[in-house]
């Protein structure tokens, strides 16, 4: 059943014959808008505040530009991001130059930025102040982190441009004050890529090993001549400030003139007003050192001389109180003279007393009495020797007896002691024989009856007593 035309109206799209506005697809309309916007706004400059800045791993940067009442998406491709003179961050007011385009996938328009600068010196100073506060909150500018400079560095590393007047001023001042070994790490001090190269130079000096082909510096100087805040901006970048704060070598910053201040000045161990002043702070004056050494030597000699003079004075004062040598030795000399006079008389008296004592005993020292005494002593000695031979333990061995000894040499006199030993030695007159004792209770074979012989005891003639005094 067919519906009337008025009933189908609004339900199906009518395509009237000869209609010159056919329906477009979403892609066709998005493409048309993209071409229109890119053609109409080929190159634009937009001023606004950065918000939501994010750097993708691909190197592209995405963020928004906003003001009091509107915002716009922005993108910086990797090739353009590397050419920026500063590092974008939230809150920075910038002037961006690029072209408008659309992103059909989200039905949004955005600006593709080719170049971006800070919106005037006020915006630059505001960014610098925010960055300073953020880094200070991390403790990078804390006074307790700063180190003392070495008094006389043997090697000084300089990070600066090799073609400017700065390096010549530094070398000239070092040569005038105290010649030392200088190692220069050449870097650009402004423009594209300058912050990364300055930071890499600082870290490169810190990574040097002592004793290498290039000597490791004892002190670093990061220097640049004067200029505007834009010219010195490389030394305000975060990567340069962090490299200076992390450097294990004491570092002097000498960027710009005395009135110029950069963030590296806060992170360094010492700020010099000029590069020439940095060289003066790095080393002392050699002539002044030599003069000071001469003064110290003169003072030391003067102190030694004064000490010797005072010691001589004390010696003279003490010597005045001493007695004369004649007074000191006079009593001893007199006692010596007295002893010398008494010595001959004492010797004569002693000799006379000894002569008298000898005369008293001379009558008892007759030869016949001495001979009688000697004869009696000889008889007693002979009798003692005879007795000793009779009681010698080896003498019975010649009459058929044996002496039993233990392995340790002890003489065994009891059968129980002999059984307690595993091995005994029987000593005879003509030698010794080892024997093993039979266990207790074991019967021993004995020879048959034999004629018991009566032991005859040797006759010992009576001898005078060994300790008889005898007659005088």
196-254, pLDDT tens digit by residue? Answer: 999 999 999 999 988 888 899 999 999 998 888 888 888 999 999 999 999 999 999 99
292-324, pLDDT tens digit by residue? Answer: 899 999 899 999 999 999 999 898 888 777 777
pLDDT value at 379 more than 70? yes
Per-residue pLDDT at 202 = 95
Of 219 and 340, the one with more pLDDT: 219
153-284 topology per CATH: Rossmann fold (3.40.50)
Of 350 and 21, the one with more pLDDT: 350
448-463, pLDDT tens digit by residue? Answer: 554 444 444 444 444 4
Per-residue pLDDT at 458 = 47
User: What Å distances lie between residue 193 and 93, 226, 264, 355, 395, CA to CA?
Assistant: 22, 19, 17, 126, 122
Per-residue pLDDT at 150 = 92
- pTM (2 d.p.): 0.49
Closest CA to 169 of 66, 278, 300, 272: 278
For 407-422, what is the mean pLDDT? 87
Tokens of 373: 């005494």
Per-residue pLDDT at 430 = 87
User: What Å distances lie between residue 36 and 75, 109, 383, CA to CA?
Assistant: 20, 12, 160
Per-residue pLDDT at 199 = 95
Per-residue pLDDT at 157 = 95
Per-residue pLDDT at 445 = 55
Looking at the chain, the whole-number percentage of residues with pLDDT higher than 70 is 87
Of 396 and 76, the one with more pLDDT: 76
pLDDT value at 52 more than 60? yes
Burial class (CB in 10 A: 0-12, 13-18, 19+), 183: middle
Beta strands in 314-472 (DSSP E): 403-405, 424-428, 431-435
Asked if residue 239 lies in contact with residue 104, where contact means CB atoms within 8 angstroms, the answer is: no
The ranges assigned to domains in the chain are 26-118, 153-284, 288-339, 381-435
Per-residue pLDDT at 4 = 54
26-118 homologous superfamily: Nucleic acid-binding proteins (2.40.50.140)
For 335-359, what is the mean pLDDT? 86
Q: Tell me the average pLDDT of the chain.
A: 83
pLDDT value at 444 more than 60? no
142-199, pLDDT tens digit by residue? Answer: 999 999 999 999 999 999 998 888 999 999 999 999 989 999 999 999 887 899 999 9
Per-residue pLDDT at 208 = 92
- Which residues lie below 8 Å from residue 418, measured CB to CB, with a gap of 6+? 404, 412, 424, 437
Rg (CA), the chain: 63
């Amino acid at each position: 059943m067919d519906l009337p035309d008025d009933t189908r109206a609004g339900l199906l799209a009518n395509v009237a014959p000869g209609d010159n506005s056919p329906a477009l697809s979403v892609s066709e309309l998005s493409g048309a808008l993209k071409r229109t916007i890119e053609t109409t706004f080929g190159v634009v400059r937009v001023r606004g505040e950065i918000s939501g800045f994010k750097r993708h791993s691909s190197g592209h940067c995405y963020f928004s530009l906003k003001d009091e009442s509107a915002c716009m998406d922005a993108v910086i491709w990797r090739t353009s991001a590397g050419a920026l003179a500063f590092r974008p961050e939230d809150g920075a007011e910038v002037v961006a130059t690029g072209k408008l385009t659309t992103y059909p996938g989200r039905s949004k328009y955005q600006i593709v930025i080719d170049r971006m600068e800070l919106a005037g010196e006020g915006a630059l100073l505001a960014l610098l102040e925010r960055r300073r506060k953020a880094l200070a909150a991390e403790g990078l500018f804390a006074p307790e982190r700063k180190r003392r400079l070495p008094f006389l560095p043997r090697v000084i590393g300089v990070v600066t441009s090799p073609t400017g007047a700065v390096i010549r001023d530094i070398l000239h001042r070092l040569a005038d004050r105290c010649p030392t070994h200088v190692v220069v790490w050449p870097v650009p001090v402004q423009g594209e890529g300058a912050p990364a190269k300055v930071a890499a130079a600082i870290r490169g000096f810190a990574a040097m090993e002592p004793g290498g082909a290039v000597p490791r510096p004892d002190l670093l100087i990061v220097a640049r001549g004067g200029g505007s805040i834009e010219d010195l901006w490389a030394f305000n970048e975060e990567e340069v400030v962090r490299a200076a704060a992390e450097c294990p070598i004491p570092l002097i910053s000498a960027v710009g003139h005395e009135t110029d201040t950069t963030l590296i000045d806060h992170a360094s161990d010492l700020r010099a007003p000029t590069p020439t002043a940095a060289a003066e702070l790095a080393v002392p004056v050699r002539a002044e050192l030599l003069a000071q050494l001469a003064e110290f030597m003169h003072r030391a000699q003067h102190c030694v001389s004064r000490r010797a003079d005072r010691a001589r004075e004390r010696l003279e004062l003490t010597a005045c109180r001493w007695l004369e040598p004649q007074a000191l030795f006079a009593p001893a000399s007199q006692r010596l003279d007295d002893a010398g006079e008494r010595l001959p008389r004492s010797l004569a008296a002693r000799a006379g007393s000894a002569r008298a004592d000898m005369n008293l005993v001379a009558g008892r020292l007759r030869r016949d009495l001495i001979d009688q005494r000697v004869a009696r002593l000889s008889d007693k000695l002979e009798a003692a020797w005879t007795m000793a031979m009779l009681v010698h333990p080896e003498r019975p061995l010649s009459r058929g007896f044996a002496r039993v000894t233990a392995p340790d040499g002890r003489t065994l006199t009891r059968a129980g002691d002999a059984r307690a030993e595993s091995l005994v030695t029987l000593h005879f007159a003509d030698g010794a024989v080892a024997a093993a004792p039979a266990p207790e209770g074991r019967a021993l074979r004995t020879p048959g009856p034999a004629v018991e012989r009566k032991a005859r005891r040797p006759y010992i003639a009576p001898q005078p007593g060994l300790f008889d005094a005898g007659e005088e």
